[in-house]
Amino acid sequence: MTIHSPPKDWFKWPHGHERLWIGLALVWCLIMFAMMPYWHFNGKQNSTGESYAVEPDAFVERVEQFTAANKVGEDPASGIPIVEPPPGGDAYLLGRMWSWTPTLKLRQGETYRLHISSADLQHGFSLQPMNMNFQVLPGYDHVLTLTPTTTGEFTIVCNEFCGIGHHAMIGKIIVE
């Protein structure tokens, strides 16, 4: 079998419907591109972009201190502490293979500064059913300014594949 190279004049400029579809795809790309800055300034569920460098061990220590100071209970099934941060104050959430800790108990209408980081590798914070998604990286304390507007139980799933227990990496935020 021989491989033949295409004839020298193989390229034909798009024409007719082909041109139309390329044009539509290009316009759609530009709309999507413009939406990125638009949502940054007008979206209601955006990150404020506030983040700080932190050693993973130091963050784990902060989470432990926060948990010890504000613990109100424990999940009977998982043993994960339930923590109620002071209204209007700082809350901490740690992602690690393969859990989210602690379970946070928040109050509707109060604004919290939620510090999120990872103890090991990259995880994804995905709050359901709100579908809010943020990257969780070791070495970065990512601060989200959060004001719960609805009460109920919200599930945190990890949306970055992080190993064999990834599917079981489920956390909880309770809003009362």
Q: Which of 109, 111, 116 is nearest to 160 (CA)?
A: 116
Q: Answer yes or no whether residue 123 interacts with Cu ion by CB under 5 A.
A: yes
Q: Answer yes or no whether residue 96 interacts with Cu ion by CB under 5 A.
A: no
Choice between 70 and 101, CB closer to Cu ion:
101
Choice between 123 and 142, CB closer to Cu ion:
123
Choice between 84 and 100, CB closer to Cu ion:
100
Q: Which residues of 121-160 are buried (b: 16+ CB within 10 A; e: fewer)?
A: eebbbbbeeeebebbbbbebbbbbebebeeeeebebbbbb
Choice between 107 and 142, CB closer to Cu ion:
142
Number of residues that bind Cu ion (CB under 5 A): 4
DSSP line for 35-94: HHHHHHHH-SS----EEEE--HHHHHHHHHHHHHHHEEEE-TTT-PEEE-PPTTSEEEEE
Q: Which of 135, 140, 132, 112 is nearest to 43 (CA)?
A: 132
Long-range contacts, 17-22 (Cβ 8 Å, 24+): none
169 contacts 99 by C-beta, under 8 angstroms: yes
Q: Answer yes or no whether residue 169 interacts with Cu ion by CB under 5 A.
A: yes
**Span near Cu ion by CB under 5 A; candidates 66-74, 83-91, 142-150, 157-165:** 157-165
**Span near Cu ion by CB under 5 A; candidates 8-16, 69-77, 105-113, 156-164:** 156-164
Choice between 127 and 162, CB closer to Cu ion:
162
Q: Answer yes or no whether residue 162 interacts with Cu ion by CB under 5 A.
A: yes
Q: Which two tokens stand for residue 132?
A: 């809010």
- Residue 125 Cβ, how far from Cu ion at the closest point, in Å? 9
- Residue 56 Cβ, how far from Cu ion at the closest point, in Å? 14
Q: Answer yes or no whether residue 60 interacts with Cu ion by CB under 5 A.
A: no
Among the listed residues 60, 63, 119, 158, the single contact to Cu ion using CB under 5 A: 158
Instruction: Kindly list the residues in this chain that would bind Cu ion in the complex (CB under 5 A).
Output: 123, 158, 162, 169
